[in-house]
Structure 1
């Protein structure tokens, strides 16, 4: 059944799209439409709030949260997406862990290129700390570009002298703005979502002419991960961004970080979003992510 599910998801993601380069507005609308089809568990509640000067979505379990907070960074190539488009992922994590979650509506490129979104995410983390939360009760998580932010926000927090969170979970993270991973070529055509041209296009909006060869833009190549908390990286084999994950895991291991590189065969980019009965691998991966979080965020 799982192979059939993977084939159906792959076929759905390969449906014909409008030819030519789409505008930013079209990219954003298309992503919203796709993510609106994902299953959101019905045992989580959402509240609009603010965090660090930016809008945020607070997601809590229906039966009351246990101690522990997930600071979530949504995906979308740094150009599109929102806390609402990531709700299937944040609500699944909340449902499976019993923690609450804040998903940050950080500023997007091209209107706000690097480092605007990173600054918003760091401000959100600082606001959680200022509210009295202990860093040992906070975990970072994110998907795609937001998975990259989960790593770079921790780097920025360390540079700012802030304590690091208890754990970091990333789903198909974007970690290399130089786009030099071998999988950019070897997975071309296998990846049902991205092409090299597409990620270069959105990446250029985020860079706005800045040098990608720096830790906060390409942590898989340039980041010093010394002192990082335990790290879980989940990725599928059918991704042009696969090597972003494998190279970051290698850097983490070399820096003495507890790291789990969790690779799922034949799975596409952020396949975890298909949890809730569409794709068994998605539910299993989120179960592993929830276990990782509950193991590393202590409960009194």
Structure 2
């Protein structure tokens, strides 16, 4: 049975995030345009106590087909890390880096003695995967060359992005990530798994009607929905690095994670999947939740 703290957040988070079904694509586009225009284009560090004293940040501008976008390099002060964590943030490909992503990323930096790189990639609906994927893959290759060890991690949409990057790095044949960590990753934007609607009915947060709209915008065209850069669970999974994946069952994305586990076994890919009954989307990132603490212990053990 989920903890009381989890149950409280399972009630509160969807309300804080104003979870709701899609009214229409046009209304949602307008809402997102207004929200994205008002969002600050700086790293949101307010949930990390003493951030400026404890961490240094270097902002690097990356140039993609649609223009420049930022990548933040966060390093614990007084250290010269040899490990790098490339962290891809979630948000359905329509929301940018939020304070919870930064809080989690800095925990990884301290626990692993690593720098963390957070690309602030261009968002749908105005941008698709084509506007950032190759550029972020180049960034991953560079950090893999410049570090003794590269970990790629992400949550939700960022988890799918992380897996898609791993596929691209493998296909390029250059330096690879040593490990992947995926939290409730969105790995099948076609929603081809027949159980998805049933799982979505129990999900208090993610709404399938919105996910379908976001998936179409991120793909850019129906022909791209099944591409491995967009739906990596449908790609060739052979030769990927060892991976740890988490998901709860009150999560619309759980069927996609289950499909990924099945296809990983067929491809002889070393994927460890931890699924916990009745937990909500990206539960390992929830603050002060016993289930998240267990996921954290498993993650740090895996990465060490």
Instruction: Find the aligned partners of 1:31 and 1:287 in 2 and give their Cα distance.
Output: 33
Instruction: Find the aligned partners of 1:31 and 1:239 in 2 and give their Cα distance.
Output: 27
Aligned length: 286
Q: Which residue of 2 aligns with 1:244?
A: 256
Q: Which residue of 1 aligns with 2:32?
A: 24
Q: Is the 8 A contact 1:56 1:103 kept in 2?
A: yes
Q: Which moved more, 1:172-181 or 1:118-127?
A: 118-127
Q: Is the 8 A contact 1:51 1:127 kept in 2?
A: no
The 3-state SS of whatever aligns with 2:274 is: strand
Q: Which residue of 1 aligns with 2:66?
A: none
The structure with the greater share of residues assigned to strand is 2
Instruction: Find the aligned partners of 1:83 and 1:161 in 2 and give their Cα distance.
Output: 33
Q: Is the 8 A contact 1:93 1:286 kept in 2?
A: no
Q: Report deviation, 1:172.
A: 0.6
Alignment of 1:165-176 (within 5 A): 165-176=177-188
Query: 2:104 is matched with which residue: 73, 89, 95?
Result: 89
Q: Which residue of 2 aligns with 1:10?
A: 10
Instruction: Find the aligned partners of 1:175 and 1:113 in 2 and give their Cα distance.
Output: 16
Instruction: Find the aligned partners of 1:291 and 1:65 in 2 and give their Cα distance.
Output: 22
For residues 104 and 289 of structure 1, do their structure 2 counterparts lie closer, same or farther at Cα, with a shift above 3 Å needed?
same
Q: Which moved more, 1:72-81 or 1:204-213?
A: 204-213
**Residue 280 (structure 1) aligned with residue 290 (structure 2):** yes
Q: Is the 8 A contact 2:154 2:181 kept in 1?
A: yes
Alignment of 1:43-122 (within 5 A): 44-50=54-60, 52-53=62-63, 54-62=69-77, 64=79, 66-82=81-97, 86-122=101-137
Q: List structure 1 runs of 4+ shifted beyond 3 angstroms.
A: 16-22, 25-32, 35-44, 51-54
TM-score, normalization: structure 1? 0.85
Q: Report deviation, 1:87.
A: 0.5
Q: Report deviation, 1:31.
A: 9.3
For residues 7 and 176 of structure 1, do their structure 2 counterparts lie closer, same or farther at Cα, with a shift above 3 Å needed?
same
Q: Report deviation, 1:14.
A: 3.6
CA RMSD of aligned residues (A): 2.8
